[in-house]
Amino acid sequence: MSSRLLLLLVVLLAACSSGDGDDGVEVGFLQDMYDHHDQAVRMALLVLDGDDTSPITRRFAVDVIASQRYEMGLMVAGLDARGEERGGPGREVMAWMDMAMPFADMPGLATQDDLDALATATGVEADEQFLRLMIEHHQGGLHMAEWVASHTDDADLRDLADQIVSSQTMEIGEMELAQDQLGFSRS
């Protein structure tokens, strides 16, 4: 782990334990974004499970796993520092941003049918589905990260949210370019 990333983790833990900000917003974001990232990692693992996807898609899958697992660790550390746990599976999400909804309706989440189709897709079909689903997934995550960045008093959580916005915005652009390069239509 680089010293910059370690420093970010230490600062995030200290800020979370200081009690600054609105715990409801911050805890809700950490819980919901953890689960959002978890699905992205699961989709990436599905693509890597096969051996007939394009090198472009495989690179994106590896990048998603590495970056989002790291951020998930920061989220768990932030929850632990606040004495909170990950959210329960049947919970309502996004109430922290005044948009309460069932978990399955969280913006950007793939449906179970989408996940099943990705799990059985091969080759070009898997490439196309993964890129489409991940772009939609990132767009939903951007919505939450942008919202918390403008509604938290916790500077370190805002930095994490800004990092998510920056990296996922860049990945969306790169994935759209990959769709063009591979001859896929955009969603």
Distance CA 116, CA 136 (A): 17
CA dihedral of residues 103, 107, 109, 112 (deg, nearest 10): 60
Give percent of the chain with pLDDT exceeding 70.
Answer: 88
Q: What is the SS3 assignment for 101?
A: strand
Q: What is the pLDDT of residues 66-81, one digit of tens each?
A: 999 999 999 999 999 9
pTM (2 d.p.)? 0.86
For the chain, the distance separating the N- and C-terminal CA atoms, rounded to the nearest angstrom, is 36
Contacts of 13 (CB under 8 A, 6+ apart): 77, 78, 81
Give percent of the chain with pLDDT exceeding 90.
Answer: 80
Q: What is the SS3 assignment for 185?
A: coil
Residue type, 136: E
